[in-house]
Structure 1
Amino acid sequence: MRKVIPILAALALFASPPARWAQAAALDPAAPEEEGMSSERLARIGQVFNAEIAAGRIPGAVIMIARGGHLVYREAFGMADKAHGRIMTPETIFRLYSMTKPLVSVAAMTLVEEGKLQLTDPVAKYLPEFSVLQVSVPATNGLGQRAYTLVAATRGPTIQDLLRHTAGLAYGEITTNPLVRDAYIKSRLSKPDFDYNVTDLAPDDFVHALAAAPLAYQPGTVWEYSLAVDLLGRVVEKISGQRLADFVAKRLFRPLGMVDSGFSVPAEKQDRIAEPLPTDPATGAPNRLIDVRSPPAEDSAGAGGVGTAMDYLRFAEMLEEGGRLDEHVILSPTTVALMTADQLGPTIRLSISPGEMLLGVPGYSFGLGFMVRMTPGLAGVPGSVGEFMWAGYAGTFFWVDPAEQLAVVMMIQAPGPSRAWYRREIKDLVYQAIVE
């Protein structure tokens, strides 16, 4: 059983933060060599990321590594807010974007374990708006040109479809289906000038808009990254009778000591929020991220979360230990095994493979809330069969490798196209530091 300690009391291996953060829970620290990692090789992480910061490509980063249940690496680099001169610290709070999805997926599975929800349940059981749906399908018109037409859905999406992104839903920022994209833009499910932001839509308005838009595929036939987990959040609210932020806090944040996690940042912590550079160094495009300084109209289950690296590392370590951390049991090991198994199989077509989308490499499938590695080879990054992970639009990334008893969190606020490079780079740097 891992021991919870206050960050303030962490050993000299890790610098102590100010007393106002003393309630944050940490993992028991250990020297890297005690857990089969090399301190000298781990130092390469700082060399690489400090060079990126000096070159002006990212403002800063926080990286934490746990192995064997112990915290072996905890470092902050660069600036949390370069424009205002705020230095990055381990207690900096980040916008998680799509790293909110694993949190909500786990919270939803607690309802499955309580018999209040089944993976095979149709979404329409809880949200009747999804009882009658149409699908936008490609066709050829009389001139031989590609066109799109609407047909009835052969079945409704299920809870399993939401968790594994096979519901036929899409992101307007990604989809190539013009009828779906236009419907999302018209209803403000997608905003051409503000990527991945539905936090301004009231929950009922979000549900009505999404149900009225055509599906991009027949449910259960194609993997496409989508607003599915946002819709799962609305299902959770219907079943629990609670706002999503309150439900996730009760099921995850409070038991795991994730004291800085939520769907907005209170006033007394707002001087700890990480900010991106004003423009992306690679493209020159302006960086625009969700305002997390006041509670949103809707708690976005797919992109609205905030938290620190340590908060998320505790969540990741809970999963690495099979659903429990310290005295708190969040999920059964059998549920964690189900969530981190391949849920796509040979019959579900991939619009793009999860690994190619997240890391730019093949070799991965998708479970219930996580991308899952299927083979020791093929992928152009190190890792183990059965490792699982996900990342966020603003630059955050985490993975858990049960075979290596490894959990890693990288927090950056750099939403440009270079974020896949940083995900691959941190995987290379962490695995090369494993020496036994």
Structure 2
Amino acid sequence: MMLHEEGHFALSDPISDYIPEFADTPVYVDGKQVPPERPITIQHLLTHTSGLVYAAGNSPVEQMNREADLHGRDVPLAEWVKRLAALPLMHHPGTVWHYGPSIDVLGYLVEVVAGIPFAEFLRTRIFQPLGMLDTDFYVPPAKLDRLATLYGEGLWVTDTESLGDYTQPPVWESGGGGLVSTGMDFLRFAQMLLNGGELDGVRLLGRKTVSYMTTNQLLSSIDRSRRQRGYGYGFGVDVLLDPVAAGRVSSVGEYGWSGGLASTHFWVDPVEDLVAVKMTQIVHRDEAGNDVPHRDMNTDLRTAVYQALIDEAL
């Protein structure tokens, strides 16, 4: 959105204007690959309505994604995008909300438009200005003793400071995940959003841009069956529309994300003027990679936070 504010592109621009490989990406419908009803736009990518999906399910498109092996850290971002664009979409763009690699594609868009590697853009335009000095795609040797162990369900170790993906810079710098950070660093990022794009005298975004990107973008015509009840979606964030339907004590307009693989979570509540960050180090999967039911700690945290709020005496 910083590049959008600077006039480098419009949200309605087809992504193929910047990444030509997506000009010919078809849609998989009833066993056939057909032309899309409309091109994928930058706004579709920001809202996960592009038709791009991960390899999480058993549909034909998800199986194709799995066979393409798109989830390693050893493929350059440009090559990864080319491989992804060669696969069909699962939905026509702008018709269905479906969580997928849309944000990864936007990471490559940043490289194309800014003319520098994605990681360098993050460091020089976001992390360093905000003082997020412990956030990167890897942990340097001098900080490895601070890297927390990552566990799977049953407390089996999946990643450590001496054996893990985060001891070296990755070849693939993912726009959708893969950063290592601290609670304090991420709190500064969330506070910047609550402040309307500014923190400690450093402004990254205009306040109206932050307001727009944290407003529900899913029109009634979009299939939202994969969304959590009570929530819409902005640009990369959940947006609370109905606390009762969501079953959560919070405020209408609260936004954030609870999709961190290691169960990390953050939210911003503009009504109560608060931000919250939850950092955990457990992936709720067994050693075979199967998801494991678990207690919703996010709800417990919200209960603790909101029941503690009091109004100052007049």
TM score, norm. by length of structure 1: 0.66
Higher mean alpha-carbon deviation, 213-222 vs 416-425, is at: 416-425
Q: Is residue 153 of structure 1 aligned with residue 21 of structure 2?
A: no
Q: Which residue matches 1:317?
A: 191
Gap regions ≥5 residues in structure 1: 1-108, 139-147, 190-196, 357-361
| Cα distance in 2 for residues equivalent to 1:420 and 1:302 | 25
Q: Which residue matches 2:256?
A: 389
The answer on whether the counterparts of 2:77 and 2:174 sit within 8 Å (CA) in structure 1 is no
Q: Is residue 186 of structure 1 aligned with residue 67 of structure 2?
A: yes
The answer on whether the counterparts of 2:159 and 2:165 sit within 8 Å (CA) in structure 1 is no
Q: Is residue 280 of structure 1 aligned with residue 153 of structure 2?
A: yes
The answer on whether the counterparts of 1:261 and 1:308 sit within 8 Å (CA) in structure 2 is yes
| Cα distance in 2 for residues equivalent to 1:198 and 1:219 | 26
Residues 100-157 of structure 1 deviation map (CA, whole Å, 9 limit, x = unaligned): xxxxxxxxx000010012111111011100001111123xxxxxxxxx3221112221
Q: Which residue matches 1:169?
A: 52
Correspondent of 1:267 among 119, 141, 166: 141
Correspondent of 1:364 among 225, 228, 231: 231
| Cα distance in 1 for residues equivalent to 2:250 and 2:224 | 22
Structure with the bigger RCO (C-alpha within 8 Å, sep 6+) is: 1
1:303–1:420 Cα change, 3 Å: farther
Q: Is residue 118 of structure 1 aligned with residue 10 of structure 2?
A: yes
The answer on whether the counterparts of 2:150 and 2:281 sit within 8 Å (CA) in structure 1 is yes
Give 1:280's aligned amino acid.
Answer: E
Q: Which residue matches 2:242?
A: 375
Residue 274 of structure 1: how far off its partner (Å) = 1.3
Within 5 Å, which residues of 2 pair with 1:27-426?
Answer: 109-138=1-30, 148-173=31-56, 175-178=57-60, 180-189=61-70, 197-277=71-151, 279-281=152-154, 287=158, 291-353=165-227, 356=228, 362-391=229-258, 392-416=260-284, 417=292, 421-426=296-301
Higher mean alpha-carbon deviation, 286-295 vs 206-215, is at: 286-295
* SS of 1:341 mapped into structure 2: coil
Q: Which residue matches 1:17?
A: none
Residues 337-386 of structure 1 deviation map (CA, whole Å, 9 limit, x = unaligned): 11010101101102411xx3xxxxx1101001110001242211111011
* Structure number with bigger Rg: 1
Aligned pair count reads 300
Residue 264 of structure 1: how far off its partner (Å) = 1.1
| Cα distance in 2 for residues equivalent to 1:378 and 1:335 | 28
Residue 163 of structure 1: how far off its partner (Å) = 0.7
* SS of 2:308 mapped into structure 1: coil
Gap regions ≥5 residues in structure 2: 285-291
| Cα distance in 1 for residues equivalent to 2:38 and 2:156 | 41
| Cα distance in 1 for residues equivalent to 2:123 and 2:241 | 32
Residues 261-284 of structure 1 deviation map (CA, whole Å, 9 limit, x = unaligned): 01111111111111123x412xx8
- Runs of 4+ residues over 3 Å off in structure 1: 284-290, 417-420
Residues 234-290 of structure 1 deviation map (CA, whole Å, 9 limit, x = unaligned): 01000011111110111110111000001111111111111123x412xx8874696
Give 2:119's aligned amino acid.
Answer: A
Q: Which residue matches 1:44?
A: none
Residue 212 of structure 1: how far off its partner (Å) = 0.6
1:274–1:221 Cα change, 3 Å: same
Give 1:136's aligned amino acid.
Answer: Y
TM score, norm. by length of structure 2: 0.91
Of all paired residues, the percent bearing the same amino acid is: 41
Q: Which residue matches 1:70?
A: none
Residue 299 of structure 1: how far off its partner (Å) = 0.6
Residue 204 of structure 1: how far off its partner (Å) = 2.2
* SS of 1:407 mapped into structure 2: strand
The answer on whether the counterparts of 2:197 and 2:205 sit within 8 Å (CA) in structure 1 is yes
| Cα distance in 2 for residues equivalent to 1:419 and 1:403 | 30
